[in-house]
Amino acid sequence: MNQTEKNEYRLLSSTSREFSQKVLLQYREENDHYPFAGLDQTAFEKAHSMDFFHLWLPESMGGLEGDIGKLCTVLLNIAEVDASMAVAILTNAMAQEIMIQAGEMDRLGELYSRNGSLKEALIAFPSFSNPSEMTPELMAIEKEDGVCLNGSAKGMVMGNMAENMIVFARFPEDPGCSCFLIAASQETIRIGDPVISLGLHACPAVDIDFNETPGIRIGQKGRASEYFWNMYGKLVSAGAAIAAGIMRGSFADALKYSQARIQGGKKIAEWSEVQLLLANMALKVRNAEMLIEYAGAKSGKDAIHDCIAASIPILDHACDVASDGIQILGGYGYMEDYSQEKRYRDAQHLQSLFGISCLKKIQYVKSCYKLA
């Protein structure tokens, strides 16, 4: 890494940390009550103004040319405060990469041809669904004037905020899924109420119904699963970076609390049992950071399996670290004021990113060792 790249990393790191501390932190507790309370979009507007939703785009469109290391740096720092915003940024990158994999660079350029509003910058995407693991409830019908979609798309992340969306649908005669780009403002679309989820409350997801809705097929027919797995291989490290951010935030708060809490005449940080919990947390945090640094430095098609192998365990460890963070705070760990219980919910929810957790592990074994 040359000096210019080092300076770029430092700038991104300091910028994302400042955004997290000065913008995200003040809205974290309030936005975690969504959808039972309103979602303050101030943080989204600020993230948009700082081009966080453009990070994965080519340089010609104001992005970082698909630099996974830089994306991971930003997501890790943001997730340390609130993983919901990090998942929103990653969801946008996932949708953009699907279009890149489908060979739709010109169309992607049209979407980002001008410096528009937040709504225009966002692309809704089912980031917790894998088209190879599901039978879509959305059907595509070819007509003389184009393609129309009927049915439902479940769990569309940012579906109530974005100007455009990418959905998976199936043609009646084709067993495979295809990808479609849909304009969200059409009258034939009905956007449902926010989905009540375990965690990541400030990253809204909705179910969307389509009734003879015109759509644009992107890429080739029936190849959505191929595009998805190619996207997954490139961005799985970014998902792990969000998990690492949750871990780092949980450890930092647990360490701070243990050094301030007095019990039995001494700080609980002096108890050997608490020290062991902190040690296990610290080791998992540092291992996660090193694995993400390693994955971010890898490139080429042969590196995909290494990135997946490095990333999947981090998602599991995030749940363990968040659980230990709750234990160190004792009863306070379960209170919303201390955010440890939020991190645990977020970590559990995050395991479903890119699809069902156990199936991702099985797919890794199948692809690496040629199992039937």
pLDDT for 145: 84
Q: 336 or 86, which is more confident?
A: 86
pLDDT tens figures, 252-285? 999 999 999 999 899 999 999 999 999 999 999 9
Terminal CA-CA length for the chain? 40
**Domain-ending residue, one of 175, 205, 221:** 221
The mean predicted confidence, pLDDT, of the chain is 92
Q: What is the CATH number of the domain that holds 153?
A: 2.40.110.10
pLDDT for 303: 76
Are 257 and 217 within one domain?
A: no
pLDDT for 302: 63
Place of tokens 């990393």: 9
Q: What is the CATH number of the domain that holds 95?
A: 1.10.540.10
HSE of 83, CA atoms in CB hemisphere, 13 A: 34
Buried b (16+ CB within 10 A) or exposed e, 82-98: bbbbbbbbbbbbbbbbb
Residue range 165-183: average pLDDT? 93
Are 10 and 108 within one domain?
A: yes
**Domain-ending residue, one of 170, 204, 221:** 221
Total structural domains in the chain? 3
pLDDT for 338: 87
List the one residue out of 293, 286, 200, 212 whose CA is nearest residue 248.
286
Q: Helix, strand, or coil here: 240? A: helix
Are 259 and 209 within one domain?
A: no
Are 114 and 139 within one domain?
A: no
pLDDT for 248: 97
Residue type, 197: S
Q: What is the CATH number of the domain that holds 255?
A: 1.20.140.10
pLDDT value at 298 more than 70: no
pLDDT tens figures, 24-49? 999 999 999 999 999 999 999 999 99
Report, in this order, helix, strand and coil percent for the chain, each rounded to 5.
Answer: 60, 15, 25
pLDDT for 321: 97
pLDDT for 63: 86
Place of tokens 């943001």: 78
Structure tokens belonging to residue 131? 């088209």
**Domain-ending residue, one of 71, 99, 119:** 119
Are 356 and 232 within one domain?
A: yes
Are 67 and 192 within one domain?
A: no
pLDDT tens figures, 150-168? 999 999 999 999 999 999 9
Are 346 and 233 within one domain?
A: yes
Residue range 220-237: average pLDDT? 94
Are 46 and 141 within one domain?
A: no
How far apart CA 128 and CA 88 sit, in angstroms, is 12
Are 233 and 215 within one domain?
A: no
Q: 364 or 181, which is more confident?
A: 181
Are 252 and 363 within one domain?
A: yes
pLDDT for 8: 84
For residue 214, give its domain range: 123-221
Are 128 and 105 within one domain?
A: no
pLDDT for 283: 97
pTM summary value: 0.95
Are 256 and 362 within one domain?
A: yes
Structure tokens belonging to residue 64? 């970082």
pLDDT value at 111 more than 60: yes
pLDDT value at 114 more than 90: no
User: Partners of 153 in the beta sheet?
Assistant: 208
pLDDT tens figures, 65-97? 888 999 999 999 999 999 999 999 999 999 999
pLDDT value at 62 more than 90: no
Place of tokens 């296990």: 280
Q: Do 239 and 88 meet the contact criterion of CB atoms below 8 Å apart?
A: no
How far apart CA 70 and CA 277 sit, in angstroms, is 31
pLDDT for 133: 84
pLDDT for 335: 92
How far apart CA 253 and CA 325 sit, in angstroms, is 8
